[in-house]
């Protein structure tokens, strides 16, 4: 199976040596590499009766590539740890690999290697690498007076999960948002040129993730609820504030920065305790927590 997967994935120019040796060799211009890792567990992050394998592959790659881009880095390669039951059809694995490969192609990256193991359920452990050609954009750079802006969809994937949980398959665009996120990579990769002071991938909910920026920067973040883009469903603001699997990007920029239409200003950074408020009030629970009991 390893040879089959390696042949299916291929690799791009940044990968000097791909699957088949003890380790991959990935070129890193400038010698600075950004690395991140994430897990997708069947029944927790996806369901095979809800999502086809191709979309699962796209999603697994996207949530890791988005983390690299959020640092201001250019993704170069993924490493994949793959566990599956022994009766998993090879055609299912082929489609999963196609999804991984095609999502990587969106940013010029590729799968450089990995490992497989027999398991009782499907597990994807993905490590993403990226080349950092300039200053990193971290969570700790927000300053009072900055504006807060987002790019990409918010709440659409969460709306899709709620629809699927109710046994519904429409509207298709919301269902598809859960199955296959579409991070606006190119827009986020230009954030440094626009003067971004902090940025992150919205993976666990806008309020919760901006809370990480508030904590790291020691600032208060004030969100204008009316400015937040919401999905076309009842209670859309709640989903936009707490749903994260769309993998939008949130960033802070100096006041007066000229932002293109792809970025939507939704609030400001202020002095005060490290917290996030929506229309002047705390909002919670703000997003996904793997260990929250309810």
Q: Annotated binding residues for Mg(2+), as ranges?
A: 22, 36-38, 67, 115, 201, 204
CA distances (Å), origin 39, targets 81, 82, 146, 189: 9, 10, 33, 24
Residues making up the annotated binding site for ATP are 114-115, 139, 203
- Contact at 8 Å (CB) between 138 and 201? no
Helix (H, G, I), strand (E, B) or coil at 274: coil
Residues making up the annotated binding site are 22, 36-38, 45, 67, 114-115, 139, 201, 203-204, 245, 288
Token pair in block for residue 242: 């707490």
Residue 154's φ and ψ, nearest 5 degrees, are -125, 135
Q: What span, in angstroms and rounded, lies between the C-alpha atoms of 186 and 192?
A: 12
- Contact at 8 Å (CB) between 124 and 39? yes
- Contact at 8 Å (CB) between 187 and 262? yes
Residues making up the annotated binding site for substrate are 45, 245, 288
């Amino acid at each position: 199976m390893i040879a089959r997967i390696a042949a299916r994935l291929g690799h791009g120019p940044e990968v000097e040596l791909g699957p088949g040796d003890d380790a991959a060799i990935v070129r890193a211009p400038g010698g600075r590499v950004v690395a991140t890792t994430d897990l997708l567990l069947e029944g927790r992050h996806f369901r095979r009766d809800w999502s086809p394998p191709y979309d699962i592959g796209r999603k697994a790659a996207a949530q890791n590539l988005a983390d690299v881009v959020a640092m201001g880095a250019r993704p170069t390669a993924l490493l994949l740890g793959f566990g599956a039951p022994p009766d998993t059809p090879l055609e299912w694995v082929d489609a999963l690999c196609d999804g991984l490969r095609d999502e990587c192609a969106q940013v010029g990256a590729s799968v450089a290697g990995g490992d497989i193991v027999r398991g009782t359920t499907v597990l994807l452990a993905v490590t993403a690498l990226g080349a950092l050609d300039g200053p990193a954009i971290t969570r700790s750079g927000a300053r009072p007076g900055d504006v807060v802006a987002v790019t990409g969809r918010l709440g659409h994937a969460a709306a899709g999960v709620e629809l699927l949980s109710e046994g519904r398959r429409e509207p298709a665009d919301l269902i598809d948002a859960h199955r296959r996120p579409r991070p606006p990579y190119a827009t986020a990769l230009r954030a440094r040129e626009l003067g971004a002071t902090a940025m992150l991938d919205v993976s666990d909910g806008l309020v919760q993730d901006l809370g990480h920026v508030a904590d790291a920067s020691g600032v208060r973040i004030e969100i204008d609820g009316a400015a937040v883009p919401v999905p076309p469903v009842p209670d859309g603001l709640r989903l936009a504030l707490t749903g994260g699997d769309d993998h939008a990007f949130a960033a802070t920029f100096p006041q007066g920065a000229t932002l293109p239409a792809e970025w939507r200003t939704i609030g400001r950074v202020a002095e005060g305790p490290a917290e996030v408020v929506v229309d002047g009030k705390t909002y919670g629970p703000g997003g996904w927590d793997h260990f929250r009991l309810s």
